[in-house]
């Protein structure tokens, strides 16, 4: 389910967006900075300060996570069922380690959100559909111009 291509986008993405809803189906979307895949079917997200997301998952475990490469303007949307792994759970240390290995342990992770992915969809900027002749390189150059950034120079 989580292919190597999806893993590549996860690795390149700075944020993911976790969408949840409560038992009244009121939506909530929250950015998450610390996230990674555990294996080919599970996504891990660190809960640093997300009381609304956690409460919603307890009421309704079905979630959606999206992430994009802002320069290529492509990414993925993953849907699935989430569980909360609290600090006192037997497997907390095992589940938090992939997150702290990639990012940091300077922030206290209150719990880990583990999502068993059941559906995957691609995300693309509308310009890919409106202007099919545009390439990823064009998108990257356009985004760099928009965001006023330049690629890093290779000093090797």
pLDDT for residue 16 is more than 90: yes
- 54-81 as b/e: b if 16+ CB within 10 A: bebbeebbebbbbbbbbbbbbbbbbbbe
pLDDT exceeding 70 applies to what percent of the chain? 97
Residue 39 lies in a domain: yes
Residue 116 lies in a domain: yes
Residue 152 lies in a domain: no
Q: Find all residues with CB under 8 Å of 6, minimum gap 6, and list them.
A: 37, 76, 78, 120
134 — pLDDT class (breaks 50, 70, 90): confident
CB 46 within 8 A of CB 109: yes
Per-residue model confidence as pLDDT tens digits over 37-77: 999 999 999 999 999 999 999 999 999 999 999 889 999 99
Query: What 3-state DSSP class applies to 37?
Result: strand
**Count: domains in the chain:** 1
pLDDT for residue 156 is more than 60: no
Residue 142 lies in a domain: yes
The parent domain of residue 106 ranges over 4-147
Mean pLDDT of the residues in the chain: 92
Residue 156 lies in a domain: no
**CATH number of the domain enclosing 16:** 2.30.110.10
Token readout for 8 is 């590549």
pLDDT for residue 85 is more than 70: yes
101-114 average pLDDT score: 86
Between residues 13 and 150, the one the model is more confident about? 13
Residue 153 lies in a domain: no
């Amino acid at each position: 389910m989580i292919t190597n291509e999806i893993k590549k986008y996860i690795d390149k993405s700075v944020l993911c967006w976790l969408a949840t809803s409560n038992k009244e189906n009121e939506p909530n979307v929250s950015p998450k900075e610390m996230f990674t895949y555990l294996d080919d079917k599970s996504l891990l997200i660190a809960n640093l300060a997300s009381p609304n997301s956690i409460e919603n998952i307890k009421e309704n475990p079905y979630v959606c996570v999206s992430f994009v490469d802002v320069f290529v303007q492509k990414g993925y949307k993953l849907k699935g069922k989430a569980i909360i792994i609290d600090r006192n759970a037997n497997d907390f240390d095992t589940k938090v380690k992939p997150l702290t290995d990639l990012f940091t342990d300077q922030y206290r992770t209150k719990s880990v959100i583990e999502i068993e992915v059941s559906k995957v969809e691609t995300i693309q900027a509308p310009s890919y559909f409106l202007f099919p002749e545009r390439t990823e390189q064009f998108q990257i150059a356009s985004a760099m111009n928009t965001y006023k950034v330049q690629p890093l120079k290779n000093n090797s």
